DNA sequence: CTGTTAGCGCGTTCAC
DNA sequence: GTGAACGCGCTAACAG
């Protein structure tokens, strides 16, 4: 009586969803057997498996991954933390990561820091709260708290975009300094002498700044003037590129080459040059960085430093998956490199 | 003795993370008090609150959202399911959704169906397993299983991109038929007579097909030939647009206007026309759809149907949040509309 | 191959 | 304003 009574004041917390226990009852087995039938089918007799599958179907059971996560101390979720979702570069990397991760049964939890390292730190705390299987972060610079938390975490962490020495765990990226140097060197080799760097959002985007620094050191080492810089506060857009070209054409003396910190800026500048009838590279040369597909469709084709973004994403995901599979991936630090694609704009 | 013994074979399931109980011990209060201090600070005395906060800080406690989710029957996660992450349109919408959601303390769980409705159905099941607070889906067409699951779910669901009658719950989008008609009507009004529709991935992208059908009905109603269609199997890219232009220039009779099913195709065609010296709109007019920022930077500026994508994302997020806040949002079905941006390409 | 037992870490319920 | 007990739904551990 007593027991029945205490039981009768039903909890209404659950969502009324079909649970594993319901399936077990329907199939006439213990809950754990249902769990096994679903998660490791081989460890259960075919007969039972069939009965369970039938019950699952009949009841429309959908596993509660939250509960599973709590019990197993981990969900099949991989948070991916990037500075911005409005930059094409990140999108392509994310896309590649997502493809690879989903094919392995993981879900991608996306979050953007809006270029703010403090926000990144908060986000890391938040997403760790979901007991994810691993984490993917952007860049090598983080708040100390992020680094210490993640280092002691015991699960795979991959830092992407930037390649370097001091990593939390694993790393796939490219060296910003080399990128900046490569384009500067190319432009100097072509005979340009007044080479301006065009960047945007540089105060927040430290990787963009790294490229600029690479550019400047290369120029300085060659004895060139490295002080030609056009900086814009807002994020890169065709409009900013167009604006840069206009300003350049009004300068005197005027730069003879523009090293744009990404292809959006470069394309914007080039399209504006087309519109104004400015000869490229006759009056001014334009070089970009990224290897966006638009580069090759412009007239003239844009010279650009192509970074294999999709490849970077895929490799990041694979490093993670390898570790999750219990392996110890070879070369956990990878410089993905880049290629100078010579168009006709320089 | 006995008890101690049985207790001594410790479980090692937990990750050794700091738990709420640890904080409670350190602060000398009960776990529930810590919970309250963190979640509803007003319900706890300032003194205790301070002690708890101190302990949290000292131990570096990070809440386990999984456990919280299980107990509270819900996580602050919003899955967003889209067909593809490589299409700019979706990115911009996702970006806007993410901004709004994160500002309200929710995380976005991103998944892509790769244009496959069966995969969508599976994904819905999976993400529902995370007991999310709500769901955002793309389009109005889904497998029956998705519709029935979600209708009985009891939490907010928003379908985006497409606007229509039969929705699961709430809806923010635009009517594909109207879009197709609008551009066709514009082109006819401009005096073009042989108007070709250029589309890609139409067998999977039914919304693209809707635009084509709108286009065709408009032409037919005006007594024009609606059979000019260039279809490509691969997804939209500058390259496909360029290819379309080449093919068109080789046709005879030749279309005098191209209605491209998005701006990427249109831009690709226009850039190729520039390269080949084909006069636009003299020899062939080109109209796009989307209102991507590149449209206005091309020469000539591209005529396009601009859809307020960011606005669509923001509104979708707000509908969801309104419902989560307990309100009953006004106009839970919203036609976000579009604008004809007349460039010089038509 | 299957079942029993005991939590995972937290929030709800009800008592003080 | 604070605490004790209980259970969310599932799985790890251990037995049989």
D chain positions with any atom within 7 Å of a protein CB:
1-5, 7-14
Q: Do B109 and A77 touch (CB under 8 A)?
A: yes
- A247 pLDDT exceeds 90? yes
Are the beta carbons of B166 and B144 closer than 8 angstroms? Answer: no
- Per-residue pLDDT, A26: 92
- A13 pLDDT exceeds 80? no
Rounded-to-integer distance, Cα A286 and Cα A258, Å: 5
- Per-residue pLDDT, B16: 64
Nearest-Cα residue of chain B relative to residue A71: B13
- Per-residue pLDDT, A154: 87
- B216 pLDDT exceeds 80? yes
Q: Which residues of B touch A69 (CB under 8 A)?
A: 66
The size of the A-B interface in CB pairs under 8 A is 141
Note whether B10 contacts A: Cβ–Cβ < 8 A: no
- The token pair at B167 is 């929705």
Note whether A69 contacts B: Cβ–Cβ < 8 A: yes
B 85-104 residues with CB below 8 A of A? 85-86, 91-92, 94-95, 98, 102
Q: Do B111 and A102 touch (CB under 8 A)?
A: yes
Note whether B287 contacts A: Cβ–Cβ < 8 A: no
- Per-residue pLDDT, B153: 87
Identify nearest nucleotide to residue A72 by CA to C1′ distance. D11
Number of alpha carbons in the 13 Å side-chain half-sphere of residue B99: 16
Note whether A63 contacts B: Cβ–Cβ < 8 A: yes
Instruction: Report which residue is nearest nucleotide D8 when distances run from CA to C1'.
Output: B71
In b/e form, how buried is each residue of B156-181, taking b as 16+ CB within 10 angstroms? bbbbbbbbbeebbbbbbbbbbbbbbb
C chain positions with any atom within 7 Å of a protein CB:
1-14
Nearest-Cα residue of chain B relative to residue A98: B111
Rounded-to-integer distance, Cα A230 and Cα A253, Å: 14
Note whether A128 contacts B: Cβ–Cβ < 8 A: yes
Q: Do B297 and A238 touch (CB under 8 A)?
A: yes
Are the beta carbons of A78 and A106 closer than 8 angstroms? Answer: yes
Distance A320 CA to C8 C1' (A): 25
**H/E element, B199:** strand B195-200
Taken in order B37, B41, B47, B53, is the CA torsion positive or negative? positive
Nearest to B238 among A95, A274, A294 (CB): A294
Distance B79 CA to D6 C1' (A): 31
- Per-residue pLDDT, B15: 56
Would you say the C-beta of A47 is within 7 Å of strand C?
yes
Q: Do A271 and B299 touch (CB under 8 A)?
A: yes
Output DSSP code: residue B236: P
Q: Do A130 and B102 touch (CB under 8 A)?
A: no
Higher pLDDT, B205 or B326: B205
- Per-residue pLDDT, B2: 34
Position of tokens 């139409």?
Answer: B202
Ranges A82-96, A154-168, B1-15: which has the least confidence? B1-15
Identify nearest nucleotide to residue A30 by CA to C1′ distance. C3
Nearest to B86 among A63, A95, A128 (CB): A95
Alpha helices, DSSP H only, in chain B?
Answer: 2-8, 20-27, 31-39, 46-59, 65-72, 88-103, 117-128, 144-151, 176-189, 206-221, 238-250, 263-276, 309-324
Q: pLDDT, tens digit, for every residue of A174-231?
A: 999 999 999 999 999 999 999 999 999 999 999 999 999 999 999 999 999 999 999 9
| Interface with A, mutate which of B129, B301, B345 (most A CBs under 10 A) | B129
Beta strands B339-341 and B303-306, pairing class: antiparallel
Q: Which residues of B touch A75 (CB under 8 A)?
A: 66, 130
- Which of A36, A27, A16 has the alpha carbon at shortest distance from A56? A27
Note whether A147 contacts B: Cβ–Cβ < 8 A: no
- The token pair at A105 is 């049964």
Distance B71 CA to C8 C1' (A): 12
* Residue B245: strand pairing partners: none
**Mean pLDDT, to the nearest integer, of A117-141?**
94
- Could you give phi then psi for residue B7, rounded to 5 degrees? -75, -25
| Interface with A, mutate which of B130, B155, B156, B263 (most A CBs under 10 A) | B130
Write down the pTM of the prediction. Answer: 0.89
Ranges A111-115, A156-160, A285-289, A338-342: which has the least confidence? A111-115
- Percentage of residues of chain B with pLDDT beyond 90: 76
- Percentage of residues of chain A with pLDDT beyond 90: 78
Distance B61 CA to D2 C1' (A): 22
Higher pLDDT, A73 or B34: B34
Note whether A111 contacts B: Cβ–Cβ < 8 A: yes
Distance A142 CA to D13 C1' (A): 39
- Per-residue pLDDT, A212: 97
Would you say the C-beta of B63 is within 7 Å of strand C?
yes
- Per-residue pLDDT, A15: 54
- Per-residue pLDDT, B268: 96
Q: pLDDT, tens digit, for every residue of A280-329?
A: 999 999 999 988 889 999 999 999 999 999 999 999 999 999 999 888 89
- Per-residue pLDDT, B74: 82
* Residue A138: strand pairing partners: A160
In b/e form, how buried is each residue of B42-76, taking b as 16+ CB within 10 angstroms? eebeeebbebbbebbeebebbbbbbbbbbeeebbb
Note whether A126 contacts B: Cβ–Cβ < 8 A: yes
For nucleic chain D, give residues with Cβ below 7 angstroms from it.
Answer: A 11, 13-15, 17, 19-21, 31-32, 35, 38-39, 63-64, 67-68, 70-72; B 9, 11-13, 29-30, 32-33, 36, 43-45, 47-48, 70-71, 73
Distance B2 CA to D13 C1' (A): 19
Q: pLDDT, tens digit, for every residue of B294-339?
A: 999 999 999 999 999 999 999 999 999 999 988 889 899 999 999 9
Tell me how crowded residue B134 is: count the other CB atoms within 10 A of its CB. 25
Note whether B149 contacts A: Cβ–Cβ < 8 A: yes
Q: pLDDT, tens digit, for every residue of B252-301?
A: 999 999 999 999 999 999 999 999 999 999 999 999 998 888 999 999 99
Q: Which residues of B touch A92 (CB under 8 A)?
A: 86
- A11 pLDDT exceeds 70? no
Q: Do B130 and A274 touch (CB under 8 A)?
A: no
**Mean pLDDT, to the nearest integer, of B150-175?**
95
**Mean pLDDT, to the nearest integer, of B65-76?**
84
Q: To the nearest whole number, what is the mean pLDDT of chain B?
A: 91
Q: pLDDT, tens digit, for every residue of B109-155?
A: 889 998 999 999 999 999 998 999 999 999 999 999 999 999 988 89
Q: Do B272 and A297 touch (CB under 8 A)?
A: yes
* CATH numbers and ranges of domains, chain A: 3-59 (1.10.260.40), 68-173+309-336 (3.40.50.2300), 176-308 (3.40.50.2300)
**Mean pLDDT, to the nearest integer, of A76-103?**
91
Rounded-to-integer distance, Cα B114 and Cα B83, Å: 5
- Percentage of residues of chain B with pLDDT beyond 70: 95
Nearest to B299 among A108, A129, A274 (CB): A274
3-state secondary structure chain A: CHHHHHHHCCCCCCCCCCCHHHHHHHHCCCHHHHHHHHHCHHHCCHHHHHHHHHHHHHHCCCCCHHHHHHHHCCCCEEEEEECCCCCHHHHHHHHHHHHHHHHCCCEEEEEECCCCHHHHHHHHHHHHCCCCCCEEEECCCCCHHHHHHHHCCCCCEEEEEECCCCCCCEEEEECHHHHHHHHHHHHHHCCCCCEEEEEECCCCCHHHHHHHHHHHHHHHHCCCCCCCEEEECCCCCHHHHHHHHHHHHHCCCCCCEEEECCHHHHHHHHHHHHHHCCCCCCCCEEEEEECCHHHHHCCCCCEEEECCHHHHHHHHHHHHHHHHCCCCCCCCEEECCCEEECCCCC
């Amino acid at each position: 009586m007593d027991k029945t009574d205490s039981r009768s004041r039903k909890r209404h917390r659950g969502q009324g969803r079909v649970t594993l226990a319901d399936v077990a009852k329907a199939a006439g087995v213990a809950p754990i057997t249902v769990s096994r039938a679903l998660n490791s089918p081989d460890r259960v007799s075919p007969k039972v498996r069939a009965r369970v599958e039938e019950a699952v179907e009949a009841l429309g059971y959908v596993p509660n991954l939250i509960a599973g996560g709590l019990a197993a101390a981990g969900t099949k979720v991989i948070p991916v933390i990037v500075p911005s979702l409005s930059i094409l570069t990140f999108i392509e990397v994310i896309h590649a990561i997502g493809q690879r991760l989903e094919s392995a049964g993981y879900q991608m939890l996306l979050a953007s820091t809006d270029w703010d390292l403090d926000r990144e730190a908060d986000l890391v705390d938040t997403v760790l709260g979901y007991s994810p299987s691993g984490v993917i972060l952007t860049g090598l610079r983080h708040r100390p708290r992020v680094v210490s938390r993640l280092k002691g975490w015991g699960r795979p962490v991959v830092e992407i975009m930037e390649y370097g020495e001091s990593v939390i765990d694993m790393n796939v990226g490219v060296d910003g300094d080399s990128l900046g140097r490569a384009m500067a060197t190319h432009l100097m080799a072509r005979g340009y002498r007044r080479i301006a760097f065009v960047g945007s959002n540089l105060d927040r985007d430290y990787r963009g700044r790294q490229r600029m620094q690479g550019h400047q050191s290369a120029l300085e080492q060659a004895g060139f003037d490295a002080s030609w810089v056009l900086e814009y506060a807002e994020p890169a857009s065709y409009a900013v590129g167009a604006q840069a070209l206009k300003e350049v054409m009004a300068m005197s003396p005027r730069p003879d080459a523009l090293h744009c910190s990404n292809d959006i800026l470069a394309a914007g500048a080039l399209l504006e040059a087309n519109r104004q009838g400015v000869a490229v590279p006759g009056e001014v040369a334009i070089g970009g960085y990224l290897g966006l597909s638009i580069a090759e469709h412009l007239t003239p084709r844009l010279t650009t430093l192509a970074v294999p973004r999709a490849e970077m994403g895929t490799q990041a995901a694979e490093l993670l998956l390898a570790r999750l599979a219990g392996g110890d991936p070879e070369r956990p630090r990878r410089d993905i490199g880049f290629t100078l694609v010579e168009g006709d704009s320089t």
